[in-house]
Structure 1
Amino acid sequence: MTEDSDPATAGASSATSDGTVRVWLVERTYSDDEQNIIILVYATPDGRRYFRKERALTSFTSDVRETTAAVDVPPNNLGEVTDPEERERYAAEAARMADTYDPDDTV
């Protein structure tokens, strides 16, 4: 099986040397269900796979958690983007982020 045909590593151009997959921030929203929850969605450059991260907003100034332009995640933590329009939107935003920021840049 080639790397491109393995659904766990879709977006092979985003594979890293340690076996993780680099995903780029494509969406940041506030949860409708919970107060003070921010939802970060990162996607592979081809928009086919995504990683969702929920973060509680805090009022403590000592608990600063920065949001980076990209994160590296294990392939088994990625979901599949099934909607073609969403996949296209994620791919476009991932490309924009990759062109604009270094992976560790705070956004």
Structure 2
Amino acid sequence: MNANEAAPDSATDGVRMWLVERTYSDDEQNMVILTYATPDGERYFRKERSLTSFTDVRDTTAAVDAPPSNVGTVDDPDDRERYAAEATRMANAHDPDDVI
């Protein structure tokens, strides 16, 4: 299997997703939204994290294995292309457990 394939993790049956975007929420203070996508850009997974303090350390990894029930479809062609490019770049540059 190459870096451009969305691999299910045999231990968890998750879908391998690569970090493609990190944004701060406009609606909630101290909220970070992490977006992960498959290397083909067709599926995405979002994680929301509350930043409760400066000492609150939670690692963000290059990839996650997302539960299939929590994976969405990327409908916008521009987003799909952008996610595909960034997910592929991350997959080629990092191991899944690399802290970003």
Q: Do the structures match in fold with TM over 0.5?
A: yes
In structure 2, C-alpha distance between the alignment counterparts of 1:99 and 1:40, rounded to whole Å: 19
Deviation at 1:20, TM superposition (A): 1.1
Equivalent position of 2:34 in the other structure: 40
Q: Aligned to 1:97, which of 58, 67, 90?
A: 90
Unmatched runs of 5 consecutive residues or more in structure 2: none
Q: Aligned to 2:50, which of 51, 56, 66?
A: 56
**Structure 1 residues 16-47: Cα deviation after superposition (integer angstroms, max 9, x where no partner):** 22321110000000000010000000001111
- 1:66 counterpart letter in structure 2: D
Equivalent position of 1:4 in the other structure: none
Give the 5 Å matches for 1:14-33.
14-18=7-11, 19-33=13-27
Q: Which has the larger radius of gyration?
A: 1
Instruction: Identify which of structures 1 and 2 has the higher relative contact order when contacts are C-alpha pairs closer than 8 Å and 6+ apart.
Output: 2
Q: Aligned to 1:73, which of 52, 66, 71?
A: 66
In structure 1, C-alpha distance between the alignment counterparts of 2:7 and 2:80, rounded to whole Å: 15
- 2:18 counterpart letter in structure 1: W
Moved over 3 A (4+): none
Measured on the aligned residues, the alpha-carbon RMSD in Å equals 1.4
Unmatched runs of 5 consecutive residues or more in structure 1: 1-10
- TM-score under structure 1 normalisation? 0.84
The structure with the largest helix share of the pair is 1
Count, aligned residues: 96
